[in-house]
Each structure stands twice: as C-alpha cells, then as structure tokens.
Amino acid sequence: MTDLLPSWNNGIARQAILDFVARVITENGPDFVPPADRIATFDNDGTLWCEYPMYVQAFFVFDRIKTLAAQNPHWYTQEPFASVLKGDLKAALAGEEHALMELVMATHAGMTTDEFTAIVKDWLATAKHPITQKLFTEMVYQPMLELLDYLRSHDFKTFIVSGGGVEFMRPWVERVYGIPPEQVIGSSIKTRFERREGKPVIVRLPELLFFDDKEGKPAAIQHYIGRRPIAAFGNSDGDLQMLQWTTADPGPSLGLIVRHTDGDREFAYDKSAMGSLDVALTEAPQQGWVVVDMKQDWRQIFAFES
C-alpha cells in the first residue's frame, strides 16, 4: 500500500480515498460500480493547481490588457482597465467576478479559436508565478496528479469542472493532467462559424455563454456528461453544489475538499482573491466529505520539490 499515493501522508484522507476505490472496484461487492459509471469531477483552480494570489487566468487577462492597450487607448481612463494598466490589481478586482468577466470579454474575443489556443500556449510557455518564479504549469499539486493517475488506473474517467475558461484550459490540461480536452467543462463565451479568407473558422464573441460555477457546475455535469459523478473534488464554496450533487445519490460516493493550510510550502488561506471556503467546510462533516489538510496530509505539494 505504501506505493499508492506516495505524496500523501498516511492518515484519514488518504485512507478514505483508498477505501472508497477498493469498495467500488470490488466485483460482487455491495458497493461495486461498473467502469462506465466511475465518473470523477475535479475543480481546477486551487484543487489541481495553485490559485494564489489570484487565478492564473487572471494573470493571463492582465497581460493581455497590457498587450492590447495600444489598440485601445480609452482603457487608460476606463475601469477596471485603468487600474490594470497602473499595476493596481487589487483595485482592478474590486468588482470581483463582474470586473474579471469584463476584462475577459475584452481580451478573449475577436479572434478565432485556433488563434486563441496559440496565444494561450505561447503565454504559458514563459509565464511564471509572481512569488515562486516557477512556470504556472509547474504549480500543480503532486498529490492530485497521483490521485488522477490512481483513479484512471481503476477505470475512472476524470473530468475537470471549473469556473475557469474552457478554451483557456483545453490547450494544456492533457499534457499536465492527462485529461483530454473533451473532458474539460468550464465557463465559455459564445462563438460563431465564419469563413475568413476562404477558410472556415470558429470566431470568439464578446458574449458570455455559460458561467460554470456554484449551481452551474452540477447543471453542466448533467448537460455535458449525462452521468452523476461518484467522486467530486474541490476547494471552495464554488464547488459546494457539485459536492452536494455528487454525494446525494444513495450509492457509494466520495466528496473531498482541499484546504490550503500550509503557509510554508504553499499558502495558508480559506479565502482567495476570488473565492472562499466557508459553507462547504461547515457542511463537510455533516455530509461525510473528506477535508484534506495540505500541511498534515501532503508529504509533498509540488512536483518540483525535492
């Protein structure tokens, strides 16, 4: 057993995962779940990779604002763009999700889907976390990478269900997490088919199609997957309804919350720039959800640690 989930310390959280998987894969057992129904959904920001001091996509948006400012001189006097260009990111995010959404619309639309994918890939190739100076794609949690592999080795199908932009995640999640783009559900903007220079393209429009957070997560799971997950993993109140939906079924299920408690190796907080862990944490013991204490439960946090 020691070679399973090696970055997890022996404790309640690790044992709960091992026990759950053992139950659902045991044929003829009372909790056996056929492989087709072994669906596991994962939030991304703060669950699979670092979201502090703010979402990675927010850093991407801010860099795009600076890149496009010369083409949009009115941004220098228009909020929240003006605060971004002044370097006052706290003021820029004072409007929280509404402000971020306005910035997203201004920076993520107008190009084709292929052009946007190339922009994301180019940015992630060099963009670094402001504190650790590691590439953002290196700021992924080693214990969660092990968990993804462990579940897939037992015929689970792993999905990302995130409030982040679906087209922002799809270009890199297969390389980093082993999750193919068709198994990524996220917030999205509207698109339109066009022909440009004689070629068919999909163009991104400055209109929100779907915001995949809170109540939107279980609705999106039903819409895109069509099966209720038997395991769900999150880290904030934005994941509350996904956890509730997953564990409401009378059959076997696992709900797990990653709690950021390690201020030395990562960051200690229950409230990030854009989300908080409050109601879900209170509800966890009542619902039987596992709460992972990063400081106590994880032997290693990032893959780059020795």
Q: For 285, which DSSP code?
A: H
CATH for 12-54+134-297 is: 3.40.50.1000
Q: What's the whole-model pTM score?
A: 0.95
Judge contact between 272 and 238, C-beta under 8 A: no
Task: Please give the pLDDT value at position 1.
Answer: 45
Cα atoms found within 13 Å of the Cα of residue 221, Cβ hemisphere only: 29
What does the alpha-carbon distance between residue 221 and residue 212 come to, in Å, rounded to a whole number?
Answer: 10
* Nearest by Cα to 197 from 123, 115, 118: 115
* Cross-strand partners of 202: 193
**What is residue 98's predicted lDDT score, i.e. its pLDDT?**
76
* Strands 231-234 and 39-42, bridge-based pairing: parallel
Instruction: Name the stretches of the chain with pLDDT < 50.
Output: 1
Report pLDDT digits (tens) over 109-166.
999 999 999 999 999 999 999 999 999 999 999 999 999 999 999 999 999 999 999 9
Measure Cα distances from 141 to 96, 148, 168, 229, 279 in Å. Answer: 26, 11, 19, 22, 24
**Domain parsing of the chain, residue ranges:** 12-54+134-297, 56-124
Amino acid at 296: Q
User: Are 272 and 80 in contact, with CB atoms under 8 Å apart?
Assistant: no
Q: In the β-sheet with 184-196, what is the strand arrangement from edge to edge?
A: 199-210, 184-196, 157-165, 39-42, 231-234, 254-259, 290-293
The closest of 104, 41, 66 to 232, measured between CA atoms, is 41
Averaged pLDDT of the chain: 95
